[in-house]
Structure 1
Amino acid sequence: MGYLMLLVVRVVMCVYMFMMFHFACLSSHLCHPDESSALLHFKTQFIFNTSFSEYFYEYECPHVYPKMSTWENGTDCCSWMGVTCHSVSSHVIGLDLSCGALVDNWSGIVHFPLFSKLQNLEYLYLSGCSSLLLKSETSVNHTFSNLMALQLLSSNITGWLEFSGKFPNLDYLKLYNNSLQEKVPEWIHGMDSLTYLNLSHNNFTLMDHFPWYRLQNLDLSFNSMADDISCFFCNATFLEIINLSHNKFTGTFPQCLANSSSPVDLDLQMNKLHGTLPDTFQDLTTLNLNGNQFEGLLPKSLSECSELVDLNLGNNQFEDTFPNWLQNLSKLEILVLRGNKLYGQIVNLKSENIFPSLIIFDISCNNFSGSLPKAYIQNFRAMKIVHDDVQSPLSYIEADWQVIHGTTEYDSSMVATIKRVSLPLTKIPRVFVIIDLSENKFEGEIPDDFGELHGLIGLNLSHNGLVGHIPHSLGNLTNLESLDLSSNMLSGDIPTELINLNFLEVLSLSQNQLVGPIPRGKQFDTFSNDSYEGNTGLCGFPLSIQCNNNVPLQQYPSSEAEDKFGFGWKPVAIGYACGMVLGIGLGYCVFSIGKPEWLVVLFGGKWTKRRSRGNRRRARTTLFQLLVVM
């Protein structure tokens, strides 16, 4: 009996689950007519041009597809591409037309308030609208009560200052690259519910005040804002990602940010901030202050930030010794201290855990002295790894956590100098492995340990006082694309092992004391004279000085010798060569014809016809040999 009851219960449950699933599936394909009509009306405002959009979205969309081409009258709108419906109510709750190959039709301007007819809309993504009017033509106050995420990218937005829409529950707002100007409008200031705000790549000049106490992620980069940020964020207690880079912000470093345990990623590069840094940092993943006017000592509290991945303090006025106390940060991947007033020797500490994850090490343009930091080079374990799986997608250095809709919202960025060019990187690939120790006062020899850093693509040791030979081990760096050893005192020859560097695009060995032949083959046949100028002992292609038995034939006399004799070495060489040819020629004629006889007899010759032939042969052979040698 109990068994039968259990069987009946199972059957009933199965029938119930089947019916629920069946009706849920049916309901998910029953689009509401008014919402379908609103979407079709929106479609009439656009045409599709995939070829145009592929160029327009080159840096924003990996794939462009005319999504609205699937929107047809008489079909279920819940099945249309870019449209998401609720699984039970079938109301349209999501509209994603980003990267959708949208180009405005000649019929007129797209009015944003028409989306208010979709009362259940929870997220809306648009991009590439060349005429998107936010302001309503009437005085109606449009309310988007359910909208939680709004993203408008690369659109010509008009009427945004007078926009009267209300977003009481908006959590995510991204207005990237829309050429918006003047100060941030009041309708954005009034969104108390925001946790994410991105207004980057516009022309905003003023923020006025900071009202978003719930905000966790703020991106105002690439604008023209000139606010004083000294106390800008002190009312925001939840901020975790702050990107104010590439603006004109002024003031000192906000003390409240250094005292807070909330900020994780802080990017203030390329502004006009000044003063000293507080020494109270607690927990950071990124600190980028490149291109400001900070001064004083480096804050030792950074050594307590165990999660620190990106530290960029370049191009400021810090005056301190090398921060050896950072060496045990096991997750640090980027260390940039270039362009400051740092000085002294880098102590070769005895440890096996020195910067184990570092892949970018740039301390150029300072006053460091002593020998190159061999102990550090030996322990750069991450630089010894080669990422050679070309089939896998390129990975970037980024924040370890994600925000709304599963999208990573912060990527490390920097301005890198490689291949003699300043290269702004909005994202840093993990294969971008570089060491730049140039423009310091380093002395001594180049350690062979560099040859173990197989992941390197850029090595710059130029403008120091390095001596000795170029290590043959550098030929092991098969991923190297740029090698600059110029303006040192390096001697010896150029190792032939460097021919193995198949990806080498930039080579500079100029202004050293190198000698011998320049290696030939592969990439070395593509370098110009500029790569070797200032090395008077080098010979071979591409230089005009030819080599013989690995030694230059022409030795250039000093200018003092030319001044002493009143003329240079070239006239002397020409005269000597002409005299030799003329003398040998005359000698040949004399012994050939035997006249004058007294001259032949004087040199012990006995003139006979048979001997004249033999002498003639010997004279030709000697002349040929001399001409070949000459």
Structure 2
Amino acid sequence: MSKLLPKGRIPTPPPSLLWYFVSRNKLVGDIPSSICNSSSLKVLTLWKNSFNGTIPECIGNLSSSLSHLDLGNNNFHGKIPESFAKYCTLQSFRISNNQIGGSLPRSLGNCKDLILLDVGNNNLNDTFPNWLGNLDHLQVLVLRSNKFFGQMDNSDVTVSFTRLHVIDLSRNNFSGYLPTNFFKNLHSIRKGHENKFELEYMEDVSDYIAFNYVYGLSLTVKGSEIEFQSLSTMWMVIDFSDNQFFGALPKTLGELHSLIVLNLSHNCLTGPIPSSLGDLSQLESLDLSSNKFQGRIPTDLTNLGFLEVLNLSQNNLKGPIPQGKQFDGFTNDSYKENLGLCGFPLSKRCDTDGGTLVKFDRDDDELNWKFSILMGYGCGLVLGLSMGYIVFTTGKPLWLIRIVELVQQRFTKR
């Protein structure tokens, strides 16, 4: 466990120390370069302090012994060290929630055992790191809230990412079509994971515990940002929201059968919502809001038995909203600002053909009541005019006078 230290500078660990946890303190200043003399150090966690210096370049060399390095939630600036060791042993590397700029050093590709890479909420300015696809053990990739840009597809790079099960690219400047081949290669999300996977790639139980001790990993799940206290291979997440992706959704997305969270909101995606999304049997959260999707909502989405959160708002969808199962629990907010949609839970109802929009501003009973009154007025007016015309043209016909007299006599007797 981390030891709570008074406000001040980081104490230099003894050379023989294996684990160094000083998280959740009020430590300030730079990381002393003397920390790199701890050649036996396997775990270094300085998470959630007030450091405001740069990351020592020698940290890259220390990666030949380190398994876990967590410098997240500080005020570090400058760049990531360029020279990660040729035989880098890092399994998790986190520098999230700092002010670090520059690009991702290509020497991170030397870290063949890397399982988690979290550089979210910084000022990194780079293209998508396709070269990380060669890291066979990479499970979690978080690039959110930076200045990454450009297209993800690169025909010159063989990208696999076969073990990946969490990828967060949200709040960047990525553009172009969604990468079909990228989704095809996400074999862990297509087929699921076995919970024993981490142990297979950890040297001992202490490494396994250290990996799960990586707290503070933030992801947007079911519409809210959640800070996880540990990692789980059960979470399968794709978040490409708040970028500039355009074009249609690849049908291959429907093959990611273990996916739990899919967030593609706030992009420029067009075309219909593919019915293949109805094959995502484990999906709990689907957010396609603030795009330019057209056409009808596929009825296949009613097959998503675990779906808890649905957001299709701010698109160009039309036609009836599918009914039944999970869809009966979604509110108007799931569909707002789609002027062509109709059916429950919206106030716009569909005709029997299921396509034409009929808007009811008041309850049906009130409408029927007003319609009956208008019909009564209309019929009375026609009958009155007809009788007036007969009286006017024939004088005072005896048969009409007799009918009136009989009615008067009956009311008098009562």
2-structure distance, mates of 1:376, 1:245: 32
Please give the residue correspondences for 1:472-487 in structure 2 after superposition, counting only pairs within 5 Å: 472-487=275-290
The superposition leaves residues 340-367 of structure 1 with CA deviations (integer Å, 9 ceiling, x where unpaired) of 0111111253877510100011111001
Aligned to 2:179: 373
Q: Judging changes above 3 Å, is the alpha-carbon distance between structure 1 residues 215 and 487 closer, same or farther for their aligned structure 2 residues?
A: same
Aligned to 2:119: 313
Which runs of structure 1 show a deviation greater than 4 angstroms over 4 or more consecutive aligned residues?
350-353, 394-399, 576-580, 596-599
Q: Judging changes above 3 Å, is the alpha-carbon distance between structure 1 residues 230 and 472 closer, same or farther for their aligned structure 2 residues?
A: farther
Q: Judging changes above 3 Å, is the alpha-carbon distance between structure 1 residues 590 and 441 closer, same or farther for their aligned structure 2 residues?
A: same
Whether contact under 8 Å (2:145, 2:171) holds in the other structure is: yes
Whether contact under 8 Å (2:202, 2:208) holds in the other structure is: no
Aligned to 2:309: 506
Instruction: Tell me the amino acid that sits aligned with residue 67 of structure 2.
Output: V
1-structure distance, mates of 2:374, 2:306: 49
Instruction: Tell me the amino acid that sits aligned with residue 375 of structure 2.
Output: V
Q: Judging changes above 3 Å, is the alpha-carbon distance between structure 1 residues 587 and 396 closer, same or farther for their aligned structure 2 residues?
A: farther
SS state of the match for residue 302, structure 2?
helix
Q: Judging changes above 3 Å, is the alpha-carbon distance between structure 1 residues 439 and 397 closer, same or farther for their aligned structure 2 residues?
A: farther
2-structure distance, mates of 1:455, 1:407: 23
Instruction: Tell me the amino acid that sits aligned with residue 358 of structure 2.
Output: L
Aligned to 1:428: 231
Of 350, 353, 361, the residue aligned with 2:167 is: 361
Q: TM-score scaled to structure 1, two decimals?
A: 0.56
Please tell me whether residue 535 in structure 1 is matched to residue 338 in structure 2: yes
1-structure distance, mates of 2:231, 2:383: 78
Instruction: Tell me the amino acid that sits aligned with residue 212 of structure 1.
Output: P
Deviation of 1:226 after TM superposition, in Å, equals 1.9
Structure number with larger C-alpha Rg? 1
Say which structure, 1 or 2, has more relative contact order (CA 8 Å, 6+ apart). 2
Aligned to 1:457: 260
Please tell me whether residue 296 in structure 1 is matched to residue 102 in structure 2: yes
Please give the residue correspondences for 1:12-91 in structure 2 after superposition, counting only pairs within 5 Å: none
The superposition leaves residues 464-497 of structure 1 with CA deviations (integer Å, 9 ceiling, x where unpaired) of 0011111101111111111000000111111111
Please tell me whether residue 228 in structure 1 is matched to residue 34 in structure 2: no
Deviation of 1:499 after TM superposition, in Å, equals 0.8
1-structure distance, mates of 2:382, 2:158: 77
Deviation of 1:304 after TM superposition, in Å, equals 2.1
Deviation of 1:292 after TM superposition, in Å, equals 0.7
Deviation of 1:207 after TM superposition, in Å, equals 5.0
Deviation of 1:254 after TM superposition, in Å, equals 1.7
Please give the residue correspondences for 1:541-556 in structure 2 after superposition, counting only pairs within 5 Å: 541-549=344-352, 550=354, 551-554=356-359
Whether contact under 8 Å (2:9, 2:27) holds in the other structure is: yes
> Larger deviation: 439-448 or 419-428?
419-428
Aligned to 1:384: 190
Instruction: Tell me the amino acid that sits aligned with residue 275 of structure 2.
Output: H
Deviation of 1:234 after TM superposition, in Å, equals 2.2
SS state of the match for residue 215, structure 1?
coil
1-structure distance, mates of 2:123, 2:158: 31
Instruction: Tell me the amino acid that sits aligned with residue 595 of structure 1.
Output: M
Please give the residue correspondences for 1:108-119 in structure 2 after superposition, counting only pairs within 5 Å: none
Alignment identity in percent? Answer: 41
1-structure distance, mates of 2:173, 2:291: 15
Whether contact under 8 Å (1:352, 1:379) holds in the other structure is: no
Q: Judging changes above 3 Å, is the alpha-carbon distance between structure 1 residues 236 and 295 closer, same or farther for their aligned structure 2 residues?
A: same
Aligned to 2:408: none
1-structure distance, mates of 2:50, 2:110: 30
Whether contact under 8 Å (1:402, 1:409) holds in the other structure is: no
Whether contact under 8 Å (2:92, 2:211) holds in the other structure is: no
Please tell me whether residue 585 in structure 1 is matched to residue 379 in structure 2: yes
Deviation of 1:278 after TM superposition, in Å, equals 2.0
Q: Judging changes above 3 Å, is the alpha-carbon distance between structure 1 residues 403 and 518 closer, same or farther for their aligned structure 2 residues?
A: closer
Instruction: Tell me the amino acid that sits aligned with residue 321 of structure 1.
Output: T
Aligned to 2:146: 340
Whether contact under 8 Å (2:347, 2:360) holds in the other structure is: no
2-structure distance, mates of 1:231, 1:460: 41
Instruction: Tell me the amino acid that sits aligned with residue 487 of structure 1.
Output: S
The superposition leaves residues 207-235 of structure 1 with CA deviations (integer Å, 9 ceiling, x where unpaired) of 55314110122112222222421525122
SS state of the match for residue 274, structure 1?
coil
Aligned to 1:325: 131
SS state of the match for residue 230, structure 2?
coil
2-structure distance, mates of 1:397, 1:292: 28
Whether contact under 8 Å (2:5, 2:22) holds in the other structure is: no
Q: Judging changes above 3 Å, is the alpha-carbon distance between structure 1 residues 419 and 581 closer, same or farther for their aligned structure 2 residues?
A: same
2-structure distance, mates of 1:470, 1:330: 32
2-structure distance, mates of 1:232, 1:527: 57
Aligned to 2:211: 410
Deviation of 1:531 after TM superposition, in Å, equals 0.7
SS state of the match for residue 294, structure 1?
coil
Deviation of 1:437 after TM superposition, in Å, equals 0.3
Whether contact under 8 Å (1:397, 1:429) holds in the other structure is: no
Please give the residue correspondences for 1:95-494 in structure 2 after superposition, counting only pairs within 5 Å: 176=1, 198-199=2-3, 202=4, 204-206=6-8, 209-260=11-62, 261-282=64-85, 283=88, 284-349=90-155, 354-386=160-192, 400-402=202-204, 408-411=209-212, 412-413=214-215, 414-494=217-297
1-structure distance, mates of 2:277, 2:240: 16
Instruction: Tell me the amino acid that sits aligned with residue 410 of structure 1.
Output: F
Instruction: Tell me the amino acid that sits aligned with residue 25 of structure 2.
Output: N
Whether contact under 8 Å (1:515, 1:537) holds in the other structure is: yes
Instruction: Tell me the amino acid that sits aligned with residue 400 of structure 1.
Output: M
Instruction: Tell me the amino acid that sits aligned with residue 541 of structure 1.
Output: F
SS state of the match for residue 108, structure 2?
helix
1-structure distance, mates of 2:204, 2:23: 19
Instruction: Tell me the amino acid that sits aligned with residue 581 of structure 1.
Output: M
Q: TM-score scaled to structure 2, two decimals?
A: 0.84
2-structure distance, mates of 1:545, 1:274: 53
Instruction: Tell me the amino acid that sits aligned with residue 416 of structure 1.
Output: L
> Larger deviation: 460-469 or 270-279?
270-279
SS state of the match for residue 377, structure 1?
helix
The superposition leaves residues 526-565 of structure 1 with CA deviations (integer Å, 9 ceiling, x where unpaired) of 1111111111111111111111131211399xxxxxxxxx
5+ unaligned residues in a row in structure 2: which ranges? Answer: 362-366, 394-414
SS state of the match for residue 117, structure 2?
strand
Q: Judging changes above 3 Å, is the alpha-carbon distance between structure 1 residues 450 and 351 closer, same or farther for their aligned structure 2 residues?
A: farther
2-structure distance, mates of 1:485, 1:314: 22
Instruction: Tell me the amino acid that sits aligned with residue 387 of structure 2.
Output: K
The superposition leaves residues 499-540 of structure 1 with CA deviations (integer Å, 9 ceiling, x where unpaired) of 111111111100001111111111111111111111111111
